[in-house]
């Protein structure tokens, strides 16, 4: 009852100066909304990253070939011969035969090559893989079929196109059954992969990579038709590189064995490689890193949000100081009629809490609008600025803000706290007025 | 501070029927280095049902005396007995409670709280009663009726005339059932006709047993009281009983 009375009194006093109170409320509202939105965006981004890492598989270990620095290259620095580095087919055999915890392992070779069909061409990524690759990467086939064992054993010139590659190369015709050209060779198109969102790169960073321009051919065919030695152009000059495998993906049966298995693979590779021309990436570790990143990100966001709430609090203090000066007479009257200093402090604290609490509540309401707002902006950009939309990185295009319940509670609690902290000084100033002086105040 | 006992030979709690008594009260202000004696050894007693007008020119100390009586200011020396307790030595919080429980204030400029309605203004002293007074709202309504404002309970002070505002203030001064009502120039801002209405109301309250202490500088207002205390330079110059017969019948 007392509580409700105080609340009502606070509201009515604030309604005396509607614009002023509204501005103070706005300050807090923006702060609270900022907290909720920023946290929701951060959660959305980190959720996306985590999903991507999970897509790689928490039980998988990825070994990538890495081109070593020039001077430490494995070759005898014969420029004509080029350099050779990276994972060998032997490494694959060794890993499969020597590491018992590995359930299955898939070798893969990739190079970027121009893929053409008549006048259409794309700078695609040629992925040479085994049939297991599709299952392991959860790559779905929309039409046609995937690479098969028969393709492998018969060195078939067949290709599976990723969604966008198919659209770009075959704008009119049905790509299935038609041939595309990689280098000098023709490959018959046997399947089209389903659309796939960008995922964390398998190279070990968390950068998203587009899968939509990949073309998949059998690993055996790659070796026979293209070979290990390939010319790559870098910074204008051509270089001959010999690489047997670009990547080996190993899947461990038991999640608990992942770290130990990764250590065994590292040790195994270390024995046979003089220079470190490979990297062992454990998505599980990435997941843990992402977790740490998220925590750091949240701290940063809270800092920003905290600053905006601080600014809101200063606004409230400013307004309350003006209010106290203006209502000096009222304070004198109340003191004469029996109010103690404590009761005056209470009265003005209630007013600031009503101000900041209203701001907090409205801020929470606006906080809930985060998702719809993001969707609205997304729709607007896509409809009115398609070029801008296309240029946006996919993890921004697909960003879904995720409201964090803790951020809503925290934001509201902090706003009320801000009201109390910034209300204490004006309230004390009101209470410490001499009642006689206050009554004389015009 | 020297012991109060030494300065006030007739110390000790006053008899029962004395609701308020100041004894040997002095109030010294230091203004710009030299001391100003606003009150100089003043002693007065107010009995139950008393009606006292305090008069004096400006600077005579009547405002200071009212502030001391209203527990808004503490005397430098001397004692002030209110409801049997020496309030001159009490701390700020206790003084606030004493004001709320034993005193009613009527001001020259009404001093209503602008954002509150008539009935809420009357209610203000009740919100500072510890423990809370039972039957608060009904009491307020009754008092509003007593001062003739029962039809304007929801009005804001700005929607009322000066006389009506002062009636609200009177109701507010009565709501805590005070031992003493202190009125500071209660008609100072009112025209003659309204002044007489307000004074008639105060007279009626006094007849009903209320103790009223009123500061005024108008003789005809002061003569409504039973006693007139004149102050000069911080001292009591004279205390005079008012002979009712001298007043024209009907006021």
Q: What is the pLDDT of residues A158-192, one digit of tens each?
A: 999 988 888 889 988 888 989 989 888 899 999 99
Q: Please tell me whether residues A108 and A166 are part of one structural domain.
A: yes
- How many angstroms separate the CA atoms of A133 and A113, rounded? 20
CB within 8 Å: B115 and A338: no
Q: Is residue A95 part of a domain?
A: yes
Q: What is the pLDDT of residues A193-235, one digit of tens each?
A: 887 765 544 434 444 566 778 899 999 999 998 888 887 765 5
Q: Give the domain extent around A93.
A: 67-276
pLDDT score recorded for residue A343? 94
CB within 8 Å: B97 and A338: yes
Chain A contacts of B111, Cβ < 8 Å?
A: 329, 332-333, 336, 439
Burial class (CB in 10 A: 0-12, 13-18, 19+), A163: middle
Q: Is residue A281 part of a domain?
A: no
Asked whether A158 and A144 are in contact (CB, 8 A), the reply is no
Task: Indicate the residue of A329, A337, A341 with minimum beta-carbon distance to B124.
Answer: A337
Sign of the CA dihedral running A385, A386, A392, A398: positive
pLDDT score recorded for residue A85? 86
Asked if the C-beta of B133 comes within 8 angstroms of chain A's C-beta atoms, the answer is no
Q: Region A26-45: what's the mean pLDDT?
A: 88
Asked if the C-beta of A439 comes within 8 angstroms of chain B's C-beta atoms, the answer is yes
Q: What is the pLDDT of residues A115-159, one digit of tens each?
A: 988 888 888 889 999 998 888 877 888 899 999 999 999 999 999
Please name which of B84, B75, B72, B77 lies closest in space to residue B21, comparing C-alpha atoms.
B84
Tokens of A103: 């359930």
ipTM value > 0.85: yes
Asked if the C-beta of B128 comes within 8 angstroms of chain A's C-beta atoms, the answer is yes
Query: Which parts of A183-316 are beta strand (E)?
Result: 185-193, 199-200, 208-209, 214-218, 229-234, 237-242, 247-252, 278-281
CB within 8 Å: A439 and B127: no
Q: Find the range with the poorest average confidence among A9-23, A233-247, A261-275, B232-246.
A: A233-247
Q: Region A69-81: what's the mean pLDDT?
A: 53
pLDDT score recorded for residue B30? 86
Chain B contacts of A336, Cβ < 8 Å?
A: 70, 72, 99, 105, 111
CB within 8 Å: A337 and B115: no
Q: Please tell me whether residues A357 and A427 are part of one structural domain.
A: yes
pLDDT score recorded for residue A70? 61
pLDDT score recorded for residue B5? 43
Instruction: Name residues whose C-beta falls within 8 Å of residue B193's C-beta, 6 or more positions apart in sequence.
Output: none
Instruction: Name residues whose C-beta falls within 8 Å of residue B87's C-beta, 6 or more positions apart in sequence.
Output: B71, B80, B81, B94, B95, B98
- Tell me the DSSP string of A411-424: HHHHHHHHHHHHHH
- How many angstroms separate the CA atoms of A321 and A340, rounded? 20
pLDDT score recorded for residue A429? 94
Q: Region A272-282: what's the mean pLDDT?
A: 87
Q: What is the pLDDT of residues B22-71, one digit of tens each?
A: 999 999 988 888 888 999 999 999 999 999 999 999 889 999 999 999 99
Asked if the C-beta of B96 comes within 8 angstroms of chain A's C-beta atoms, the answer is yes
Domain B48-75+91-243 has CATH 3.40.190.10: no
pLDDT score recorded for residue A234? 59
A301: part of which helix (H) or strand (E)?
helix A283-326
Measure Cα distances from A47 to A19, A297, A304, B227 in Å: 41, 13, 21, 85
Mutate to test the interface with A, among B66, B102, B127 (most CBs of A within 10 A): B127
Q: Please say which residue of A276, A300, A322 terminates a domain.
A: A276
CB within 8 Å: B111 and A329: yes
Average pLDDT, chain B: 89
Q: Please say which residue of A227, A254, A276 terminates a domain.
A: A276
The total number of structural domains in chain A stands at 2
Q: Please tell me whether residues A140 and A249 are part of one structural domain.
A: yes
Q: Region A42-50: what's the mean pLDDT?
A: 81
Q: Please say which residue of A245, A276, A307 terminates a domain.
A: A276
- How many angstroms separate the CA atoms of A92 and A98, rounded? 10
- How many angstroms separate the CA atoms of A94 and A109, rounded? 17
Cis upstream peptide for A154 (omega within 30°): no
Q: Please tell me whether residues A264 and A307 are part of one structural domain.
A: no
Q: What is the pLDDT of residues B98-111, one digit of tens each?
A: 999 999 999 999 99
Number of alpha carbons in the 13 Å side-chain half-sphere of residue A34: 21
Asked if the C-beta of B100 comes within 8 angstroms of chain A's C-beta atoms, the answer is yes
* Number of neighbours of residue A421 by Cβ within 10 angstroms: 16
pLDDT score recorded for residue B3? 44
pLDDT score recorded for residue A79? 53
Mutate to test the interface with B, among A338, A347, A437 (most CBs of B within 10 A): A338
Q: What is the pLDDT of residues A374-389, one digit of tens each?
A: 889 888 888 888 888 8
pLDDT score recorded for residue A332? 95
Q: Is residue A18 part of a domain?
A: yes
Question: B122-135: buried (b, 16+ CB within 10 Å) or exposed (e) per residue?
Answer: bbbbbbbbeeeeee
Q: Is residue A58 part of a domain?
A: no
Q: Please tell me whether residues A243 and A292 are part of one structural domain.
A: no
Q: Which has the higher per-residue pLDDT, A427 or B88?
A: A427
Residue B249: pLDDT band with limits 50, 70, 90 = very low
β-pairing, A102-117 with A208-209? unpaired
Q: Please tell me whether residues A367 and A417 are part of one structural domain.
A: yes
Distance from CA of B142 to the nearest CA of A (A): 19
CB within 8 Å: B124 and A343: no
Asked if the C-beta of A116 comes within 8 angstroms of chain B's C-beta atoms, the answer is no
CB within 8 Å: A338 and B129: yes
pLDDT score recorded for residue A74? 46
Instruction: Name residues whose C-beta falls within 8 Å of residue B183's C-beta, 6 or more positions apart in sequence.
Output: B105, B106, B173, B202, B212, B213, B214, B215
- Residue spans per domain, chain B: 48-75+91-243
User: Of all residues in chain A, what percent carry a pLDDT higher than 90?
Assistant: 30
CB within 8 Å: B114 and A16: yes
Asked if the C-beta of A64 comes within 8 angstroms of chain B's C-beta atoms, the answer is no
Distance from CA of A340 to the nearest CA of B (A): 5
CA of B73: which chain A residue's CA is closest?
A: A436
CB within 8 Å: B172 and A337: yes
Asked if the C-beta of B101 comes within 8 angstroms of chain A's C-beta atoms, the answer is yes
Asked if the C-beta of A337 comes within 8 angstroms of chain B's C-beta atoms, the answer is yes
Asked whether B179 and B98 are in contact (CB, 8 A), the reply is no
Asked if the C-beta of B224 comes within 8 angstroms of chain A's C-beta atoms, the answer is no
Chain A contacts of B157, Cβ < 8 Å?
A: none
Please name which of A61, A65, A60 lies closest in space to residue A273, comparing C-alpha atoms.
A65
Q: Region A314-336: what's the mean pLDDT?
A: 93
B197: pLDDT strictly greater than 90: yes
pLDDT score recorded for residue B130? 85
Asked if the C-beta of A6 comes within 8 angstroms of chain B's C-beta atoms, the answer is no
Question: A359-390: buried (b, 16+ CB within 10 Å) or exposed (e) per residue?
Answer: bbbbbbebbeebbeebeeebeeeeeeeeeeee
CB within 8 Å: A341 and B92: yes
Average pLDDT, chain A: 85
Chain B contacts of A337, Cβ < 8 Å?
A: 99-100, 105, 124-125, 128, 172
CA of A435: which chain B residue's CA is closest?
A: B72
CB within 8 Å: A338 and B114: no
Distance from CA of B226 to the nearest CA of A (A): 26
């Amino acid at each position: 009852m007392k509580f409700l009375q105080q609340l009502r009194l606070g509201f009515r006093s604030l309604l005396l100066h509607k614009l002023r109170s509204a501005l103070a409320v706005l300050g807090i509202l923006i702060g609270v909304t900022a907290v909720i939105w920023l946290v929701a965006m951060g959660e959305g981004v980190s959720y996306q990253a985590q999903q991507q890492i999970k897509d790689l598989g928490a039980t998988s270990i990825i070994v990538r070939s890495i081109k070593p620095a020039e001077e430490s290259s494995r070759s005898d620095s014969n420029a004509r011969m080029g350099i050779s580095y990276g994972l060998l087919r032997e490494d694959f055999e060794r890993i499969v035969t020597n590491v018992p915890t590995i359930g299955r392992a898939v070798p893969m070779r990739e190079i970027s090559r121009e893929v053409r069909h008549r006048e259409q061409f794309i700078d695609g990524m040629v992925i040479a893989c085994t049939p297991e690759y599709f299952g392991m990467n959860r790559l779905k086939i929309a039409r046609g079929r995937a690479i098969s064992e028969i393709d492998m054993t018969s060195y078939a010139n067949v290709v599976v196109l990723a969604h966008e590659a198919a659209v770009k190369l075959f704008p009119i015709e049905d790509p299935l059954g038609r041939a595309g050209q990689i280098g000098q060779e023709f490959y018959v198109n046997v399947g089209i992969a389903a659309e796939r969102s960008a995922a964390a790169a398998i190279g070990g960073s968390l950068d998203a990579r587009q899968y939509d321009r990949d073309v998949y051919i059998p690993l055996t065919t790659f070796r026979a038709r293209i070979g290990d030695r390939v010319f790559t152009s870098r910074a204008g000059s051509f270089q001959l590189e010999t690489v047997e495998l670009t990547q080996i993906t190993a899947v461990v049966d038991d999640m608990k064995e992942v770290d130990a298995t990764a250590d065994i693979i590292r040790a195994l590779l270390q024995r046979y490689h003089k220079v470190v021309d490979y990297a062992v990436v454990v998505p599980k570790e990435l997941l843990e890193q992402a977790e740490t990143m998220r925590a750091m990100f949240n701290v940063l966001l809270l800092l920003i949000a905290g600053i905006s709430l601080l600014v809101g609090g200063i606004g409230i203090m400013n307004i309350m100081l003006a209010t106290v000066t203006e209502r000096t007479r009222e304070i004198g009257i109340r003191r004469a009629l029996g109010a103690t200093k404590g009761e005056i402090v209470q009265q003005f604290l209630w007013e600031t809490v009503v101000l900041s609490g209203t701001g907090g509540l409205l801020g929470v309401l606006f906080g809930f609008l985060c998702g719809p707002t993001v969707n609205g902006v997304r729709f607007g950009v896509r409809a009115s600025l398609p070029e801008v939309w296309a240029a946006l990185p996919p993890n921004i295009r697909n960003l879904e803000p995720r409201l964090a319940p803790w951020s809503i509670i925290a934001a509201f609690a902090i706003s009320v706290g801000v009201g109390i902290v910034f209300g204490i000084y004006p309230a004390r100033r009101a209470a410490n007025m001499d009642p006689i002086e206050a009554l004389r105040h015009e | 501070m020297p012991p109060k006992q030494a300065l006030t030979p007739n110390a000790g709690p006053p008899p029962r029927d004395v609701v308020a008594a100041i004894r040997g009260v002095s109030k010294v202000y230091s203004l710009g280095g030299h001391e100003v004696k606003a009150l100089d050894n003043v002693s007065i007693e107010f009995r139950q049902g008393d009606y006292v007008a305090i008069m004096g020119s400006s600077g005579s100390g009547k405002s200071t005396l009212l502030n001391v009586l209203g527990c808004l200011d503490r005397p430098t020396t001397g004692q002030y007995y209110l409801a049997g307790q020496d309030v001159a030595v009490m701390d700020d919080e206790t003084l606030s409670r004493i004001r709320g429980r034993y005193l009613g204030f009527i001001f020259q400029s009404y001093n209503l709280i602008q954002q509150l309605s008539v009935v809420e203004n009357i209610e203000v002293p009740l919100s500072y009663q510890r423990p809370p007074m039972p039957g608060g709202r009904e009491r307020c309504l009754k008092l509003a009726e007593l001062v003739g404002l029962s039809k304007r309970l929801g009005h804001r002070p700005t929607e009322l005339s000066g006389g009506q505002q002062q009636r609200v203030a009177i109701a507010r001064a009565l709501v805590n059932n005070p031992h003493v009502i202190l009125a500071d120039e209660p008609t100072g801002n009112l025209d003659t006709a309204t002044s007489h209405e307000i004074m008639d109301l105060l007279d009626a309250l006094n007849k009903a047993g209320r103790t009223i202490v009123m500061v005024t500088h108008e003789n005809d207002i002061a003569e409504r009281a039973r006693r007139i205390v004149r102050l000069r330079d911080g001292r009591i110059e004279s205390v005079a009983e008012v002979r009712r017969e001298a007043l024209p019948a009907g006021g």
